[in-house]
Amino acid sequence: MRKKTQRTHIGGQAVIQGVMMLSKCGMATAVRDDTGEMQTEAIRLTPPEQQAKWKRLPFVRGVVSFVSSLVLGMGALMRSSDVAFTTEEEEPSNLSKWMTEKLKVSVGEILSVISTILGVVLALALFLLLPNYLTSLIADAAPAIGGTGSIWYNLIDGGFRLVIFLCYILFTLLFKSLRETYQYHGAEHNTINCYEYGDELTVENVKKASRLHDRCGTTFIFLVLIVSILIFALVNWALAALHWVTGIGWADDIISFIVKIIFLPVVAGISYEVLRLLSKTDSVLVLPLKAPGYLLQKLTTREPDDPMIECAIAAFKKAKEMEDDPNSPERSFVTETKLSKLLETMKSRFEKRGIDASDAEWIVSLTLDIPRSALSQERIVSRKECREIVNIFDERMTGRPLWYIFGDTDFCGCKIKVDERVLIPRPETELLVRQALAALKDGDSMLDLCTGSGAIAVAVAVEAAKKKSVTIVGADISEDALEVARENARINQASVTFVKADLFDGIRGKFDLITANPPYIKSGEIASLDQEVRDFEPRIALDGGEDGLDFYRRIAERIRRYIVRGGMCIMECGEGQAQEIIRIFRETARCDFAMVVRDDAGVERIVKIGF
Q: How far apart are CA 162 and CA 170, in angstroms?
A: 12
β-partners of residue 69 are: none
**Contact in structure between 87 and 37 (CB atoms under 8 Å):** no
**Contact in structure between 15 and 312 (CB atoms under 8 Å):** no
Separation of CA 352 from chain center: 9
> Roughly how many angstroms between the first and final C-alpha of the chain, as a whole number?
87
β-partners of residue 596 are: 607
* Helix, coil or strand: residue 546: coil
- In SS3 terms, 35-92 reads as CCCEEEEEEECCCHHHCCHHHHCCCHHHHHHHHHHHHHHHHHHHHHHHHHCCCCCCCC
**Contact in structure between 34 and 85 (CB atoms under 8 Å):** yes
For 564, list phi and psi in degrees, rounded to 5. Answer: -75, 160
Annotated binding site for S-adenosyl-L-methionine: 476, 517
Annotated binding site for substrate: 517-520
In 3D space, the residue among 362, 321, 436, 421 whose CA is nearest the CA of residue 21 turns out to be 321
Q: How far apart are CA 591 and CA 583, in angstroms?
A: 10
Q: How far apart are CA 179 and CA 76, in angstroms?
A: 19
Q: Are strands 471-476 and 445-449 parallel, antiparallel or unpaired?
A: parallel
- Cα→Cα distances 98→79, 105, 169, Å: 22, 9, 40
* Helix, coil or strand: residue 443: coil
Q: Are strands 511-516 and 471-476 parallel, antiparallel or unpaired?
A: unpaired
Q: Are strands 11-15 and 18-22 parallel, antiparallel or unpaired?
A: antiparallel
Amino acid of residue 366: L
Annotated binding site: 476, 517-520
Amino acid of residue 301: T
Q: How far apart are CA 388 and CA 309, in angstroms?
A: 27
Angle at 182 between CA 290 and CA 267, to 5 degrees: 45
> What is the DSSP code (8-state) at residue 268?
H
Q: How far apart are CA 203 and CA 198, in angstroms?
A: 14
Q: Which residues lie below 8 Å from residue 176, measured CB to CB, with a gap of 6+?
A: none
